[in-house]
Chain A
Amino acid sequence: MSEAELRESLRAAVVDEPPLNFDADALIQRAKMVRKRRRALVAVAVATVALTASVLSLPGALSSSRGGGQVDALVPVLTTTTPTPVAEAKVEDRAEYLAAYLEERFEQVVPDVAEVRAEFTDTRLKKAAGYVTGFVYFVDREGSSGISVQLSRPPMLVTRDEFCAGVKCDAPRYQEDGSYLEFATSSVSGHDMITYSVAHFRADGSVVQVSGYNYDPAKGGKIRDEVPISVDQMVSLATDPNLAAD
């Protein structure tokens, strides 16, 4: 069989093609639904990982603090304060404000990005001891990626020891206002996926964590050589006083 005969046969094989009823709008609706489900899954996964890390590292936090047994002023995690239920309207307003603010702020701190979009979820509606977590989606020269932002306050507070448990932590940075910055790198064993996190342990007891990824945590895709935003940019976001749970 010659190449010409093969060409002819392949063309002939699709001659009796059945009619195509293709609805592009229906396909786009399905694609949007898939995207929405995937994002919800990512949000749940991030919250689960954060909660698991907190629970697993709690014994370490109770036994001793870092630095030769000295008591860390920021450690008092367990509080006897009764959690007060947060009003629904207030929480929703706060989540909307944070999303709008973070979109604007992110573009200022990280130039040369496009399609910036932020979402915040406030689980305090369901339980008083909830987290406020946010995610910023963006596209840069290498493609799409995102950062996650977690705002914590007592009683669900992440301590410095918990933050550094099971990950590689760099030297903490003491701030003039009495707060600390911690820097952690975590990776998945056997994979090239890296998460770089900066946490600001504020003097008022609240914590703001910002995490960047060398991949797109929402869609997966290719793994980059580096996390798309720099440490200084993450520090700028983590120390922003307007990013707070309340």
Chain B
Amino acid sequence: MREADEQAFRDFAVRQAAALRRTAFLFCGDWHTAEDLMQASLLKLYQAWDRVEWRDNPTAYARKVLLRTWLDEKRRPWRRVEQRDGEVPDVADSSADPELTGEKLWARDLVHAALLRVPPRQRAALVLRYFEDLAVSEVAVAMGCTEGTVKSQTARGLAALRVAVEELEEGAVVAS
């Protein structure tokens, strides 16, 4: 790779690493796995950096690579047997907003836990549509499917999320 290209990749990676990790976290629900996914995606992106067709929009390609990497990772046997409970990682919460009430924190964790119960492709559609704020056409590019499929996956994902939230709320009430 030429020096200028390498510098362009370096700038891009530094600029996008945090955003890619955040999206990966919403996909997988674990900051450590999210960091691995981000690194793996950037490694793949480096190998493809000289492909002419993606130079105009490397962010879209990075998003696509991240999604593929996560879906591939989920298909691996040792990931399939792993149980995710959606617990918030035990890290120092230095940037927590003191104005957030306990109720809001509970609601936030509830939605995130519920999101992890939504099937992977529907979850990806929800994250790309409502977290990344992408248009349907952009989500279709990232997911490698038609716009109609994105719409149906999003609708099903929203329905599945609502069901999961209700189930978790009922469980919390029973537990209390």
A-side residues, CB < 8 A to B, are 1, 3, 5-7, 9-18, 20, 22, 24-25, 27-28, 30-31, 34-35, 115, 139, 141, 143-144, 219, 221
Contact = CB atoms under 8 A, between A and B. Distances in A.
Taking each of A20, A34, A35, A221, which has the highest tally of chain B beta carbons within 10 Å of its own beta carbon? A20
Contacts, number: 105
Given A1-B158, A13-B115, 7 more contacts: A1-B161, A10-B130, A18-B89, A24-B13, A25-B10, A34-B47, A139-B52
Contact of B47 (A5, A7, A16, A219): A219
Main secondary structure of the interface of B (DSSP, over half): helix
A22 B31 CA distance: 14
Contacts of B48: 219, 221
A9 B18 contact: no
A9 B107 contact: yes
Given A15-B95, A17-B22, A17-B31, A10 B53 contact: no
B165 interface: yes
A156 to B, nearest CB: 33
Contacts of B112: 9-10, 13
B93 interface: yes
Taking each of B127, B130, B165, which has the highest tally of chain A beta carbons within 10 Å of its own beta carbon? B130
Given A16-B93, A28-B6, A1 B46 contact: no
Contacts of A219: 47-48
B108 A13 contact: yes
Range of interface residues on B (Cβ < 8 Å): 35 or more
A13 B51 contact: no
A14 B47 contact: no
A35 B17 CA distance: 21
Nearest to B45: A31
B46 A28 contact: yes
B21 interface: yes
Interface in B127-143: 127, 130-131, 133
A10 B91 contact: no
Contacts of A22: 13-14, 17-18
Interface in B72-115: 88-89, 91, 93, 95-97, 100, 104, 107-109, 111-112, 115
Given A1-B111, A27-B43, A14 B22 contact: yes
Contacts of A28: 6, 9-10, 46
Contact of A12 (B10, B108, B130): B108
Given A15-B96, A15-B97, A27-B13, A34 B25 contact: no
A27 B130 contact: no
Nearest to B17: A22
Taking each of A6, A11, A143, which has the highest tally of chain B beta carbons within 10 Å of its own beta carbon? A6
17 contacts: A1-B158, A3-B130, A7-B131, A10-B126, A12-B104, A12-B108, A13-B25, A15-B108, A17-B22, A28-B46, A30-B43, A139-B51, A143-B51, A143-B52, A143-B53, A219-B48, A221-B51
Contacts of A3: 130, 158
